[in-house]
Chain A
Amino acid sequence: MFKALLSHDLPRSKLLALALAIAVLGLAFTPFIFPGTKALNVAAKIMVFIVLVASYDLLLGYTGIVSFAHTMFFGIGAYGVAIASTRMGPGWEAVALGLGGALLASLLLSLVIGLFSLRVKAIFFAMITLAVASAFMTLASQLSDFTGGEDGLSFKVPEALQPGTEYLEEPFLGASIDGRFLSYYLLFVATVALVLLMLRIVNSPFGRVLQAIRENDFRAEAIGYRSVVYRTLSNVLAALFACAAGALLALWLRYNGPDTSLAFELMLDILLIVVIGGMGTIYGAVIGSVLFVLAQSYLQDLMKLGADRLVDVPLLSQLISPDRWLLWLGLLFVLSVYHFPSGIVGRLRLRAMLHEPTTGRPRVGSTPPGGGGGPLPPPGGSVNKESS
């Protein structure tokens, strides 16, 4: 039963299993363990990031495509719910219609981008998506009648999810059972379902083809798989999941604007989490998102303390001021791409395999051992060099 739920892609490392269990249980019981709005918001952000990053991992880690347009689909999902809810008033129909429309828009857009530009080299695709994403962001902030422009849209969610809706008069085990509580669990259930679905997809025969294309596009084509078709499908799937994540974010925040769901910083966060968590492992998205969002939410406070202490030292205080948070992320990012290419999950799995050779058998499609390669192509063999 458990194996089937995880699509037979078990953590294969005791430490990883433990970390995953802590993460899932922690998220499941956050309203009871850590009362307070900040903790709840952080947990919700973690879950949205888990879905978003896992969907990006489908593209980057499993298919080997670098896209910079992922936040565009995230934004479409968020704007779909936001626009429908402002226009039609709060209600489940608005949410359903907004989500449906957003999914359809993402599907069409990702299909067009995929068919149009996935035939070309990896670098080409990265550049084109970067350009398209920046155009989309301009579009979102320019169409202010529709999207609220830079100010974004604040809207009301269906009544059942509104914070004012009380279900129990007395707090239950320290948590007040209201609409916020229900939203949280809606988010939790949706996250679990979507992540399990993605796990199912990457461990299906289809997912194996994607990995084959990632490892050697030329050979995959030679066996008879049309790699353009598979790449496009992967692009479309990733876009749909990102769109769903965006809708979840909008439902939780009851607000959406360009900075919330389209900012380029968000794209960097996604890249960073994928790399740190471990590319080509959906579990990497879970571990990476938990660590990253926790660090982002609480380390900045710590940096502020440090900067206040060192306020007299000219450059150093600048470097550790909380505004320079991105600098340390960038450093971490570069260092992890160099020295840590298989990410946390890859490392843990490798360790488990080396220490317990009987239990940790290498499996097809897992992150290759050695820690050096990961899903990245070996030196010399650049990604889809000849496909044009």
Chain B
Amino acid sequence: MTTRTLPTTPAQAAQAAEPVPQARFDKLPLLLLAGLMLAALPLIGSASSWATLTVAGLAMGLIIFIIASGLTLVFGLMDVLNFGHGVFIALGAFVATTVMGAMGAWTDNPSLLANLVAVGTACLAGMLAAAALGLVFERVMVRPVYGMHLKQILITMGGMIIGEELIKAVWGPQLIAMPLPEGLRGSLLFGDVAVEKFRLVAVVLGLLVFMALLLVLNRTKLGLLIRAGVQDREMVESLGYRIKRLFVGVFVGGSALAGLGGVMWGLYQQGVTPQIGGQVNTLIFIVIIIGGLGSTLGCFVGALAVGLMANYCGFLAPKVALFSNIALMVAVLLWRPQGLYPVTNR
């Protein structure tokens, strides 16, 4: 930080009022993403399979981004890392299976519109359930342990176990199939590039969420406060804003997004198990470590990188794919130990 004396005369004040120089936007991580895609092209060989894989990777990455964005905001804002984030994913997915099961007439309907209504309703129900759980979770689990990292880790982990077991008690421990509605099955052909329909839906939805997040964070006062809180919480507090209330809002919003991501993830895998939370948890941790804890853009880039990497490796060397995420994380941390977009003040 540069030290600067306060302006004492009007002339100095006028000088200080010059527009603050914009921080240079760091393009390197985006280039990394582009590099990853370009490097995969010669390795895969055929352009059409490359395109298919890229769309699949982007779809997967965007779903992960939907899940992880709330978590990384919560971490940035309140320094709380919720190890129980996976529960919201699982709850969202399970509620969605019930809703979609009940809407059988809509999902079996060949009309795409009816299918989308069914999926939309399931998403909404999953989001609402996850948001409600998020509210309870924040009250009961997280609130008593602000500022204590060790306890946070332990408590939220405990919350994760309890949530997972309750889900098993309600829905049973076995895998529940979550078939795609009629109209979303199969793939579209663009030339000789086959793209699964559902992945297109996932890409569109993920981009919508990303846009919405960017708009809220960059163009509204709420977003200004959230971003300011992530940068320096105490300063925002001393300006008179109740950051805890803001935090509850972000936490509930993040839970709802996780619920939405859970529905999408369940549809993506066409089935949900109660262990889904734990599996995805590892993935989203890797994503937010890669992105830089607390950074939304970093989370976006990290999620896309993980999604692309997983799909390319899954095609090139299926055995290696299981470790591609770890390899990516190690490589990124060696390059930038604080993640791709380090949040200042941390």
> A: which residues have CB within 8 A of B?
60, 64, 66, 116-117, 119-124, 126-128, 130-132, 134-135, 138-139, 142, 264, 268, 271, 275, 315, 318-319, 323-324, 326-327, 329-331, 333-334, 337-338, 341, 376-383, 388
Contacts and interface: CB of A to CB of B under 8 A. Distances in A.
Interface string B322-346: 1101100100010001100000001
B294 to A, nearest CB: 11
Contacts of A334: 141, 155, 158-159, 162
B315 interface: no
Given A264-B278, A327-B161, A331-B162, A338 B155 contact: yes
B35 interface: no
Nearest to A272: B158
Contacts of B150: 60, 64, 66, 122, 376-377, 383
B185 interface: no
A128 B289 contact: yes
A329 B159 CA distance: 11
A337 B346 contact: no
Contacts of B147: 379-382
24 contacts: A122-B149, A123-B152, A126-B83, A130-B281, A131-B326, A135-B325, A142-B319, A271-B157, A315-B169, A318-B170, A323-B173, A326-B164, A329-B161, A330-B158, A330-B161, A333-B161, A338-B144, A338-B155, A341-B151, A376-B150, A377-B150, A382-B148, A383-B150, A388-B337
Interface in B272-289: 278, 281-282, 285-286, 288-289
B127 interface: no
A327 B162 contact: yes
Given A66-B153, A127-B285, A383-B150, A120 B337 contact: yes
Given A122-B153, A324-B169, A333 B148 contact: no
B303 to A, nearest CB: 15
A59 to B, nearest CB: 12
B338 A388 contact: yes
Contacts of A126: 81, 83, 153
Interface of B: 75, 79, 81, 83, 141, 144, 146-155, 157-162, 164-166, 168-170, 173, 278, 281-282, 285-286, 288-289, 293, 319, 322-323, 325-326, 329, 333, 337-338, 346
Contacts of A376: 148, 150-151
A130 B152 CA distance: 15
Given A64-B150, A66-B150, A135 B322 contact: yes
B286 A131 contact: yes
A381 B146 CA distance: 10
Contacts of B148: 376-379, 382
Contact of B282 (A134, A324, A326, A388): A134
B169 A327 contact: yes
A57 to B, nearest CB: 13
A266 to B, nearest CB: 13
A102 B133 CA distance: 43
Nearest to A127: B285
B161 A326 contact: yes
| Majority-rule SS of A interface residues | helix
A337 B161 contact: no
A326 B165 CA distance: 7
Contacts of A123: 75, 81, 149, 152-153, 293
A299 to B, nearest CB: 15
Given A127-B289, A326-B165, A333-B161, A121 B149 contact: yes
Contacts of B293: 123-124
Nearest to B150: A376
A330 B165 contact: yes
B329 A323 contact: no
Contacts of B169: 315, 318-319, 324, 327
Nearest to B163: A330
B323 A139 contact: yes
A275 B150 CA distance: 12
Nearest to A381: B147
B56 to A, nearest CB: 21
Nearest to B281: A130
Contacts of B281: 130
A337 B282 contact: no
B82 to A, nearest CB: 10
B323 A138 contact: yes
Contacts of B159: 330, 334
A123 to B, nearest CB: 5
Given A66-B153, A138-B323, A382-B79, A131 B329 contact: yes
A330 B157 CA distance: 9
A378 B149 CA distance: 10
Given A127-B285, A327-B161, A379-B146, A138 B322 contact: yes
A117 B332 CA distance: 13
B154 A333 contact: yes
Contacts of A117: 333
A264 B289 CA distance: 21
A370 to B, nearest CB: 15
A120 B338 CA distance: 9
Contacts of B79: 382
Given A377-B148, A377-B149, A124 B161 contact: no
A139 B281 CA distance: 18
A326 B329 CA distance: 31
Contacts of B81: 123, 126-127
A130 B284 CA distance: 11
A318 B165 CA distance: 10
